[in-house]
Amino acid sequence: MNKILLSLGTLATFGLYVLLVRGHQASVLSAATFSRVPTAVDNSPAELASSTAPAAIEQVAPSIIPSVTATTGFKDGQYTGTSFDAFYGNVQVKVTVKSGKISDVQFLDYPRERGESVQINSYATPLLRQEAMTAQSAQVDIVSGATQTSLGFRKSLQSALSQAS
C-alpha cells in the first residue's frame, strides 16, 4: 500500500513539474513521451552530434528536404501536396496561401488506423501545422514519437509549397 501511495505521489509531482515547465504542450500528452528534436535544419552537424537527438534522426535529417527560404512570395491559392508513406499510413497536406504567406495547413491524410497512431498524431499534427505556419516553410522540427508522420508532413508540405512558388 505504501509503495502505491509513493508511486502515485511521484507521478503527481512529475506531472505538475511537466505542466509548469512545458506549459500548454504537456496538457495533451506527457512531454516525457514526445518532445521536439533539433534537426540539421536548425543546427549544424556538430551541434546535432552533441545534442540529445537520437542517432537515427541525425542520420536522416540533414538531407531530407530543400526549403522554400522566402517568407513571402508564394502564389495565393490552395495547393495539395503529394501523399507520402509514413510507415503506419500516408501523410498528405493541403496548404492555403494568402497575401503570399502560408495562412493554413490542413492534413488530408495521416496515420490513424491504430490506437497508438491516433494518440501520437492527436499531439503531433497540431504542432506540425502551427510550426509550418510560423516558419512559413517546410523546415519544421521533427516531433519525437511521431518521426515518420513528421517526415511525411515535411515532404508533402514541400511538394505543395513547390507548386506555390
Q: Residue 83: is its pLDDT beyond 80?
A: yes
Q: Residue 32: is its pLDDT beyond 50?
A: no
Cα atoms found within 13 Å of the Cα of residue 38, Cβ hemisphere only:
13
Task: Render 59-104 in DSSP notation, one character per residue.
Answer: HHGGGS------SS-PPSEEEEPPPEE-SSSEEEEEEEEETTEEEE
What does the pLDDT read at residue 157?
97
Find all residues with CB under 8 Å of 155, minimum gap 6, and list them: 64, 65, 81, 82, 84, 91, 138
Average pLDDT, the chain: 75
C-alpha 140/C-alpha 51 separation (Å) is 17
What does the pLDDT read at residue 13?
77
Under the banding of pLDDT at 50, 70 and 90, the label for residue 4 is confident
Under the banding of pLDDT at 50, 70 and 90, the label for residue 137 is very high
CA 106 to chain centre: 13
* E strand or H helix at 19: helix 2-22
Q: Residue 27: is its pLDDT beyond 60?
A: no
C-alpha 150/C-alpha 127 separation (Å) is 10
